[in-house]
Amino acid sequence: MGIKTVAVHSEADSKAMHVRLADESVCIGPSQSKKSYLNPAAILSAASITNADAIHPGVGFLSESAKFARIVEEHGITFIGPAYEHMKTMGNKIKAKEKMRELGLPVVPGSDEPIKSEDNAIKISKEIGYPVLIKASMGGGGKGLKIARNENELKKALPAARSEAEASFDNDEVYIEKFLSKPRHIEIQILADKQNNVIHLAERDCSIQRQRQKILEEAPSPALNENTRKQICESVVEVIKKLGYFSAGTVEFLYQNGAFYFMEMNTRLQVEHSVSEMISGIDIVRAQIRVANNDALGIEQKEVKISGHAIECRINAEDPVSFKPSPGLVTEFHSPGGLDVRVDSALYTGYDVPPFYDSLIAKLIVKGRNRNACIMRLKRALEELVIDGIRVNTPLHQKIVNNPSFINGAYDIHWLEDYLNK
């Protein structure tokens, strides 16, 4: 787009690829994220000294902080994302459910407000029936989330969930919802501009998870037919229009027995946005930047052509069996290539993966003319991928894509953990 970029980085990321590729770079603090990537003052200072017009918040850290978005705008800098009011509403899972229910989306049965006491939790759990999920109101990534299958488990899980929520989000507020036995995790990717033009890029199936963390995503979902897909996607578009929301966003559902239940909305770029880009041909980050610049999307829904099938594997620096993190020096890195093979990564031979952040180090995204062709191409790409010097979870992905249940599309959000525990 011809826009000059400034990379902000901690001391630990001084040799990261994005720092090497950007036009300018600014160190915003030491390795600890609280003193760098979670420090709004440092980020704003970097924007000020480089005369930056806008800040893209990425996919983690402050990307869903309504407070940060507001501070950025108050300093006369454009925040490349939605309005902070929408971020604030959707950032609170209880308020988000209440709002989406009001706008016509079905939600998972559960508490309509934060849990006030143990007695309150027991009462609600009896009403909706066990098993139940205790979830952090401000949560995500499986933090502050516990399952209770009876009253005794509930009594133990409630304080544990509160403690984890407080540690992870500085807020111990939790709520309760019904635990679904075999749901799929289906999410709808939307793009909207400030003129209230809204489009969807179909759905992603993110049901291959471990400890509530996504491992592999694909689009479209093998669980949906065209009628079901059309119905849920059009419903989401109408809701987004009513909200007046703009920028990229993802509306997430649990899908079981032909029914959708709204779970949450992510008001940021998702890690797995790449699979939607592959099947739609639309650059989501480019769209975010255009919208932030008050430009129209420039494309109508009828012009969005969904073609083929895409699968993304999250490559993590971790032992593929024990899942113990494996930071360290990458002695050799070879990226697979070929038609419709994409690798999003900051890795290079000689890079030292730091131990301070998330273990995700690369995304391997592959597209095929149909799901079978995509799986075949993915198997080849996984064989080609070389990351030496550290342990990575590539062998786990190879097991998944060769498993008959995955090949047949017969899986749910509990499938991977059940498979690993056999």
Active site residues: 268
Residue pair 309/373 in contact by the 8 Å Cβ criterion: yes
CA 161, CA 171: separation in Å to the nearest integer? 11
Whether the CA torsion 221, 99, 76, 38 is positive or negative: it is: negative
- In angstroms, rounded to a whole number, what is the distance separating the alpha carbons of residues 322 and 345? 23
- Cα 28 to Cα 24, 80, 110, 327, 402, distances in angstroms: 13, 19, 42, 22, 43
In sequence order, the β-bridge partners of residue 208 are 216
In 67-183 the beta strands, taken as DSSP E runs, fall at 78-79, 132-136, 146-148, 174-178
CA distance 185 to 182: 10
Six token digits for residue 295: 């430009």
DSSP string, 350-404: T-EE-SSS-SEEEEEEEEESSHHHHHHHHHHHHHH-EEESS--SHHHHHHHHTSH
Q: For 141-283, where are the alpha helices, taking DSSP H only?
A: 151-169, 226-243, 273-280
- Are 240 and 198 in contact, with CB atoms under 8 Å apart? yes
What residues are paired with 334 via a beta bridge? 386
d(CA 400, CA 376): 13
